[in-house]
Amino acid sequence: MADDIKIDCGKFKQSLTLLESQYHHQQTLDHALPNWIQEAVSESVTRRFGNCYDCLWKVLKHYLKISLGLPDVPNSPKPLFRIANENRLLPSDISQWLIYADSRIDPSHNYDGNKTKAALDLMDAFVRDAIALYETISGERWL
């Protein structure tokens, strides 16, 4: 397709900026603070992860359709990641993106804290990968 087609990455960028910021706060949180504050910040990170993840795969879908001209693009993240991987768009292995997909689903349906911790353990890698994918899709350098 034409190189001059610009994909609107505004919501993706905003959600990734918020995730990156909140994740940084969570990582540098004073552990002397009450437990409920630490839990609230961690829950905020996982919620922002969910928002960012949703924006990411929807922008990726649009990119595959418009910029790469792929006619039959699925409306589901895992198949989109496979197609993006086939087109060498993903900055890390497809298996990592499938883990992100599973982590996005799990914390929202599990309240024992283990899934939230597992999702938090992925945040550093996810933020790096999301930034790299943002740069690929948008053609812009990250902040």
Residue of 123, 57, 115 lying closest to 65 (CA atoms): 57
Task: Please tell me the predicted confidence (pLDDT) of residue 71.
Answer: 87
Q: Domain range for residue 62?
A: 10-138
CATH code of the domain covering residue 72? 1.20.120.330
What pLDDT tens digit does each residue of the chain (143 aa) get?
445 567 899 999 999 999 999 999 999 988 888 999 988 998 899 999 999 999 999 999 999 999 889 988 999 999 999 999 999 999 999 999 999 998 886 554 555 567 778 889 999 999 999 999 999 999 999 98
Domain presence at residue 2: no
Q: What is each CA distance from 50 to 16, 91, 98, 137, 142, in whole angstroms?
A: 10, 19, 14, 19, 20
What is the pLDDT, as a whole number, of residue 2?
Answer: 44
Residue 99 included in any domain: yes
Count of domains for the chain: 1
Domain assignment present for 73: yes
The whole-number pLDDT of residue 1 equals 42
Decide if 80 is inside a domain. Answer: yes
